[in-house]
A and B are shown apart, each in its own frame.
Chain A
């Protein structure tokens, strides 16, 4: 069993996987390059030596096969955790995820659970070539039957890994790849009081609420700090779970601050921010001092690396959003 320590997010996930595998021998890992190499991000590094090739499986290069066989393993009573190498490579498995993974429990009237986890390195900002920087959360959140977690800290990375594996439902874990090497405190001995499906107010404030998740969290906090210099007191919420989205926690905050700005990397058009904005507009109509605003990607394919800085929300764009929010 691991003990409390400071770990990079990637290693916190490794520790979560290791502890889950040690606790339950039905847990097994599958994916491309995850065994000998330890994964292209080294998240599964060392686990082959510890648990052997039956439980840490280098698969053929076939995402539909990886996810589809995980479905069969889960039906058989295993708890597979599969790694998709990069977000843009989940699409060959999209059919399996949306037509099978998401629907098996419902199709069997609850007779069959699919306790499986799909780990996906998520988001941009790493200067990569095409298909390595996608933010497909809305596509999966739109599909009933899936749960989606988006850890932003090492502590959440560890515990969400464990809780995702423990869940009787299929869970997609969106891992903030550009922050894999950012360290944080992890306490593997104390199970967090907060459910993984709940949002967390990570910075209290009174003038407006900033909502973000995963790779956008540090930006939200940085923006709140910068706004403080201008005499603004912003509340920051980490959504943590994207399906379900914890609307009550966000609505509570908005009732107090009267304003909401949602920040995410995915294109704003059709993004998850739009769904949250609609729900908050419904629930908090009489408390809102301004329309809910969103800052995110444009309605474009993710651009080549040397243009991504202009595509991704940055401090100035978030503060610009805050200004627009406060103009009302």
Chain B
């Protein structure tokens, strides 16, 4: 497992990844402080979302607590032109892509199935049916090949796709088929699994007898396993993989070892299947604390900076609160707006029927009030 930062924050040299980080500037001190801030922000947003769910403001929340380094690292390793294909727990990746956290809440509150424009933000919508997004990622990458934006040697325009899915989802047939397509066509795609050890109640060992990172090799897809609680290792590995894919060398698979600190979602009770000792063991590997210790060792962080991050995080949580209360329930007639891109006579008829039906009650209401 590739690790650049030990849990107590000391840096282990790594010839290849250090070179990539050095060259890309991804490990410059101000960048490191930025990742720290990002992780603190996204954790605060996550905790706030959990409490909003408890208050009945969200139907559900899937917490990414503990996976901040795996997500902020992967998000920042990609370049603006890259296309990202997430699952439903990629709040840190979304943050790194510039998607405000309240947009994520639309789905969890139940006012929309999406929340952002995938084309504008180069980020696919969150996906609920596990694994089904993996072939989309490969197809998008095949499109990039056709558009001639792969392997030209121009780092500013060469493009790749980052496909994200969990350790559990990696068992789905569609992921296997994605490997097949990506390998056959040497598509510029990086498969990125956050192995957070559990798929609801089922541990990774039930999904795979071998480390997941070995799996893709049967398809001829090179792979690497990194410490997912180490933001530098994630940055280095994902950037390397993306650069390789962008350069026309075909797909790469990256497995980031991390941990889902909270329950699967707010509807799950992790105590039914997960030993508390395991949770404690992983708490000691906290990704935010690790980066902070590293920055302290470098002398690149001070009390003033960390407390400013905390304040900003608090403000972000307040903003979420604010946005939630501003999110009105949509007029249900809006459900007829987008089933098709072109007019559809049955949808039109059903919309008219719906409006007519609703109007009956409005007439009753006005009759009652005028009476």
Identify the A interface with B (CB < 8 A): 32-33, 35-38, 40, 58-65, 88-89, 91-92, 127-132, 269, 298-301, 303-311, 316-317, 320
Contact = CB atoms under 8 A, between A and B. Distances in A.
Contact of B200 (A32, A91, A304, A316): A32
Given A88-B129, A129-B59, A304 B111 contact: yes
Given A92-B173, A92-B174, A298 B350 contact: yes
B59 A88 contact: no
B113 A311 contact: no
A65 B173 contact: yes
A214 B95 CA distance: 42
B130 interface: yes
A64 B350 contact: no
Contacts of A129: 59-60, 88, 107-108, 110, 113, 128
B347 A58 contact: no
B299 interface: no
Q: Which 5 A-B pairs have the closest CB atoms?
A: A305-B110, A310-B332, A37-B201, A60-B171, A61-B168
Nearest to A40: B200
Interface stretch (B25-33, B77-85, B312-320, B333-341): B333-341
Contact of A37 (B273, B329, B339): B273
A306 B330 contact: yes
B360 to A, nearest CB: 8
B120 interface: no
B311 interface: no
Contacts of A269: 346
Interface in B208-245: none
Contacts of B332: 303, 307, 309-311
Nearest to B129: A131
Contact of B113 (A32, A62, A130): A130
B267 to A, nearest CB: 8
B112 interface: yes
Contacts of A299: 339, 344, 346-347, 350
B206 interface: yes
Given A89-B129, A129-B60, A309-B332, A61 B207 contact: yes
Contacts of B108: 129
A91 B168 CA distance: 17
A61 B110 contact: no
A110 B273 CA distance: 43
A36 B272 contact: yes
Contacts of B347: 298-300
B113 A58 contact: no
Contacts of A132: 128
